[in-house]
Structure 1
Amino acid sequence: MLRLLLINTGSNVLLMVVKMALTFIMTPILIHNLGNYDYGLWEMVAAVLGYMGMLDLGIKPAISRFAAKYKAEEDQLNLQTVFASTLVFMAAIGFLIALALAGWGVLFSGAMAPEGEDPLKYTLFLLILAGQMLIVFPGYVAESYLEGFQRYNIKNNITIVNSLIGAVLFIAFVAPDNALLLLAAVNAVGLSVKFLIYGFLLTRASFGRIVFNLALFNGRKLRELMAFGFKSFVQGVATRMENATDTLVIGSFLGPAAVPFYSIPQNLVRYIQTLGWTLSHAFMPLFSDLAARSENDKIQGIYLVASKIVVGLVMAMGIGAAIVGTPFLALWIGTEYTEQSDIILLLLVSFTVLPLINPFSSRYLTAIGKHGIFARLMPISAVVNLGLSLLLVQYYGVVGVAVASLLPSLVLQPVLLVYSCRQLEVPVATYLRESLLPNVLPLLLMGAVTAWMRWGVGINSYLLLVITVLLAIVVFCLSFWCLSFNPQERSFVLERSPLRRST
């Protein structure tokens, strides 16, 4: 079990690193060939498609859960029934979305085109996306089965290869006059091929021989899955509103050309969030197992120590991004994108890191069936976020949207911290003392060194940027080891070190 968790977590981290590398390589190429308008439009359409993706009504995590359950029970009939029932549902949703995109492209694409430009390009763009939906939505069922079967490594390896091939093809054939359509086509074909491979793998004996049989469609089973997934759906809607609405608000009020000045720093900061989610993902089944055994003391110990480590890592990344983010953007895509980047990065880092000061709350509360609080509170936070964004963008532009994202989180996250500590039966003061306070001095030392490199030495080349990052890593890791870990924790790590075992 532990080995499988480590393999899956390592695979998730590897995928995140590859995506970061591709973002670093591809973003300047995209901006150069698409221009600010089409790049901003691509980000806005991606946000719209993200909202459309929620029309699955939270059924994807339900599929994963029931696939895992029935596989453990060796219940082949229910595995096939869930597959058939959800595939019909998801195919129908994909068809409706494809129809809407096709209608938008044929009838209203002129509204997307800049003044004086032929709308045909945007019609073809939306038709390509419509075709993509016909494959992608039913493909989510196969992807969810692979996750339920704990085959993250297979899924992630396919995604990595697919992403690399797509990037190479785009770079090889891109030009400013074909960039938007080529990007849409490469993305659509890549996703479609990936999901078709997922479906093919499920038909193999080693993956359970899961095949579609319309006769096994069961409306009652589908309703059961939808009922289970409703809380995830509500939480997903709220999360999507908080993370994807900003680009739509900016594009609607300031125009698509203003979107990159927000979305590029946002995409940079989002990897901090991804790291937190990736590192905490494998703990949910562990907490569930320990809770079933009533080993609450062990849960508390793991929760506090693991939180200390994850909080230290994500906050270190956040401080680093806030300090060196602007020099990095200047070297990466040009100084024209750094006019307000310091304040935007600071606000976005704060918004991203704040939920991660308690990184295991969602995993633990889900494991014990107490995650309904997210479905109750997060929609309120998301609506407030949207209302503030609509108001502040008119007065403060892009910076106003970033402020609007942060303000509701300042109220929500302390409430979630108190609630999760109550369920964990650990006083909030104990959590703060054992999981947050030990990180303060290492983070201050790392932040001081990083700030000195930026404002004392100056970061005007990639070499100095790399030196700054490496220096920050060394300072943080040494001070974290010496100051954050207590003697028992250091002994625990050393006793299980591969170097110790090999000697």
Structure 2
Amino acid sequence: MQKSRLYYSMMNSSISTIVFFLKLVMQFVVRTYFIRVLGVAYLGINGLFSNVLSLLSLAELGVGTSIVYSMYKPIANNDQSEIQALMVLYKKAYHYIGFAVAIIGLALIPFLHFFSDDLSSKEGFVWYYLLFLGNSVLSYFFTYKRSLLIANQRSYLVNINDFIFLLISNIFQIYLLLHYGSFTLYLLVQLVFTLLGNFSISYKVDKDYKFLKKAESKKLGKDKIKEIKKNVVGNMSSKIGGVIVMGTDSILISSFVGLAAVGYYSNYTMIINNVQNLCKQVTNSITASIGNYIVTADKKQSLELFKRHLFVNYTMIYFATLILVSVLNPFIVWWIGEKYILPSLTVTLIIINLVVQMFRNTNFVFIDSFGLYWIQRWKSVIEATINLVVSLILLAIFNLGINGVLLGTIASSFGYVMWIEAYYIFKYGLKEKLTVYIIQIIKYILLLCISIAVVFYSQTFFEFNGFAGLILKTLIACCIGLFIYIITFCKSNEFLYVKNLLIRIIKR
């Protein structure tokens, strides 16, 4: 059994990392052709409708996580009848969700023009929206089957399947963009291959788990259903704020600034989201056993584990920020041209927002490990309220545009939610004073600011151009950053832990 877990762990982590980088390359290639052929206005529509559909996905929040969690025990016990009963329940749940998203999505059509004045000038925008909606709705009728593979430690099969169909669809999309320049064909290809990819996963699950097709399945007990409902509510309440905060950004920008601004902004968010996801891959790879460890660890050991995870997370934040500060705008210029860059203040706010969200990665892991979803159920409501109120004030009264939306997100994340999450962890999980966390964060932020200033100043002595310039800027940022980092942390317990961790990884 141990060998099997190790095998699946290696397969999942290695394949997900490879697929991540391949998808990253594909994203940039497709986005480049999209901008050159269709322009920034259609990029804005793409970003806006993606955000609208992400808000509609609120109906699903909590269900997917609860599916995977509920299946661990019956899979371990090879209880096929309970697995089948859970799959029947989740099939019904996802079908209801799919119909609900379709109905709500269709009901929004008469109000689409309120999201942006520019939409009305784009002929066929309702048709584009329907294609987006169809792509989203169809996925709900197959997602529950993916959950069985994920719960069974076979998520690498899902990753491979999705990548193959994404690659083929991207090739078709680029071909159709170059020969026909049609946004409709671009979206149709996306919808068709989403459907084919889901059919493929469904076929794989039906083939490997034939017991799912038994005529009858046992009924789940009341206690089990009650447990699932509580998990769904807990997960939903903890995630709803994040979806609203991130999902409304493009809607607010399109409403108050315009579709073109959404297009410019979406180029930056694509880069930022990939940086954040890459850092999550690194930090998540060392947190798989935290939940089990905390159950048996004493208070001192749990706090030490938290500090170590925070330090590893900060290391990712530190170097990612130094690189982004150095090359984000120059990269946009090299990639798609100078007319697509945003002002320095806006880029600074984008990076600050990234830093705040990445600091929260440690909070997410320990909230999950301690099972604090129910305790923090009202957090997301307050988070979403602060974000929307501040953003609307800065947009409507002060006319700050994209900066207003970013400041609203930073106000809710750094002004409230980052600290309340830490408070719950330290009070109910670690049972320590929050001042330990506050002092650590202040130290980390001060060092980051000093390092940014030194890197930024040092680069004023050099002339950088083109792709070679991007590489040189990145190397300078990393070398100076590494020097300051080692001087500051070389004697700390957390640094020694990271050093030993890297040595073990390299030996493997």
Q: Which TM-score band (shorter chain)?
A: 0.7 to 0.9
Q: Which residue of 1 aligns with 2:477?
A: 472
Q: Structure 1: how far apart are the matches of 2:321 and 2:210? A: 42
The 5-angstrom pairing of residues 13-412 of structure 1 reads 13-101=17-105, 119=123, 121-175=124-178, 178-205=181-208, 209-211=211-213, 224-282=227-285, 285-340=288-343, 342-357=344-359, 359-394=361-396, 395-412=399-416
Q: Structure 2: how far apart are the matches of 1:201 and 1:256? A: 41
Q: Structure 2: how far apart are the matches of 1:254 and 1:71? A: 51
Over residues 228-261 of structure 1, what are the superposed CA-to-partner deviations in whole Å (9 max), with x where a residue is unaligned?
1112112222111111101001112223222123
Residues 292 and 327 (structure 1), Cα distance of their counterparts in 2 relative to 1, 3 Å cut = same
Q: Structure 1: how far apart are the matches of 2:265 and 2:42? A: 15
Residues 217 and 128 (structure 1), Cα distance of their counterparts in 2 relative to 1, 3 Å cut = farther
Contact kept in structure 2, 1:158 and 1:194, CA below 8 Å = yes
Q: Which residue of 1 aligns with 2:465?
A: 460
Return the offset for 1:353. Answer: 1.3
Q: Structure 1: how far apart are the matches of 2:203 and 2:370? A: 35
Deviates more, 1:328-337 or 1:477-486: 477-486
Q: Structure 1: how far apart are the matches of 2:246 and 2:185? A: 26
Contact kept in structure 2, 1:98 and 1:134, CA below 8 Å = yes
Residues 337 and 426 (structure 1), Cα distance of their counterparts in 2 relative to 1, 3 Å cut = same
Return the offset for 1:451. Answer: 4.9
Return the offset for 1:45. Answer: 0.8
Contact kept in structure 1, 2:119 and 2:125, CA below 8 Å = no
Deviates more, 1:148-157 or 1:41-50: 148-157
Return the offset for 1:398. Answer: 1.5
Q: Structure 1: how far apart are the matches of 2:405 and 2:202? A: 40
Over residues 342-385 of structure 1, what are the superposed CA-to-partner deviations in whole Å (9 max), with x where a residue is unaligned?
21221122122124335322212222222334432222111111
The 5-angstrom pairing of residues 413-428 of structure 1 reads 413-422=418-427, 423-428=429-434
Residues 368 and 144 (structure 1), Cα distance of their counterparts in 2 relative to 1, 3 Å cut = same
Over residues 383-427 of structure 1, what are the superposed CA-to-partner deviations in whole Å (9 max), with x where a residue is unaligned?
111122222123111111111111122222233334323432455
Q: Structure 2: how far apart are the matches of 1:100 and 1:379? A: 21
Residues 385 and 219 (structure 1), Cα distance of their counterparts in 2 relative to 1, 3 Å cut = farther
Contact kept in structure 2, 1:438 and 1:483, CA below 8 Å = no
Residues 363 and 490 (structure 1), Cα distance of their counterparts in 2 relative to 1, 3 Å cut = closer
Return the offset for 1:188. Answer: 1.4
Contact kept in structure 2, 1:90 and 1:137, CA below 8 Å = yes
CA RMSD of aligned residues (A): 3.4
1:452 partner SS: helix
Q: Does 2:472 correspond to 1:496?
A: no
Over residues 287-310 of structure 1, what are the superposed CA-to-partner deviations in whole Å (9 max), with x where a residue is unaligned?
221123245544333332232122
Q: Structure 1: how far apart are the matches of 2:365 and 2:229? A: 21
Q: Structure 1: how far apart are the matches of 2:335 and 2:503? A: 42
2:361 partner SS: coil
2:142 partner SS: helix
Contact kept in structure 2, 1:323 and 1:451, CA below 8 Å = no
Q: Which residue of 2 aligns with 1:448?
A: 454
Contact kept in structure 1, 2:322 and 2:451, CA below 8 Å = no
Return the offset for 1:467. Answer: 2.0
Return the offset for 1:337. Answer: 2.2
Q: Structure 2: how far apart are the matches of 1:491 and 1:96? A: 50
* Residue type of the alignment partner of 1:187: Q
1:459 partner SS: coil
Contact kept in structure 2, 1:312 and 1:439, CA below 8 Å = no
Q: Structure 1: how far apart are the matches of 2:318 and 2:295? A: 32
Contact kept in structure 2, 1:307 and 1:360, CA below 8 Å = yes
Q: Structure 1: how far apart are the matches of 2:235 and 2:286? A: 18
1:150 partner SS: coil
Return the offset for 1:314. Answer: 1.8
Q: Structure 2: how far apart are the matches of 1:374 and 1:434? A: 23
Q: Structure 1: how far apart are the matches of 2:138 and 2:105? A: 14
Return the offset for 1:495. Answer: 6.2
Structure 1: runs of 5 or more not aligned:
none
Contact kept in structure 2, 1:251 and 1:259, CA below 8 Å = yes
Contact kept in structure 1, 2:318 and 2:448, CA below 8 Å = no
* Residue type of the alignment partner of 1:402: L
Contact kept in structure 2, 1:272 and 1:318, CA below 8 Å = no
Contact kept in structure 1, 2:42 and 2:263, CA below 8 Å = no
TM-score by length of 1: 0.86
Q: Structure 2: how far apart are the matches of 1:257 and 1:173? A: 23
Deviates more, 1:12-21 or 1:276-285: 276-285
Q: Structure 2: how far apart are the matches of 1:484 and 1:439? A: 14
Identity of aligned residues (%): 17
Contact kept in structure 2, 1:331 and 1:462, CA below 8 Å = yes
Q: 1:484 aligns with which of 476, 489, 501?
A: 489
1:372 partner SS: coil
2:85 partner SS: helix
1:74 partner SS: coil
Over residues 155-188 of structure 1, what are the superposed CA-to-partner deviations in whole Å (9 max), with x where a residue is unaligned?
2222222222222111112149643212211221
Q: Structure 1: how far apart are the matches of 2:402 and 2:498? A: 45
* Residue type of the alignment partner of 2:346: I
TM-score by length of 2: 0.85
Structure 2: runs of 5 or more not aligned:
none
Matched residue pairs, number? Answer: 495
Contact kept in structure 2, 1:155 and 1:198, CA below 8 Å = yes
* Residue type of the alignment partner of 1:140: T
The 5-angstrom pairing of residues 5-16 of structure 1 reads 5=9, 7-16=11-20
* Residue type of the alignment partner of 1:60: G
* Residue type of the alignment partner of 1:325: L
Return the offset for 1:25. Answer: 2.0
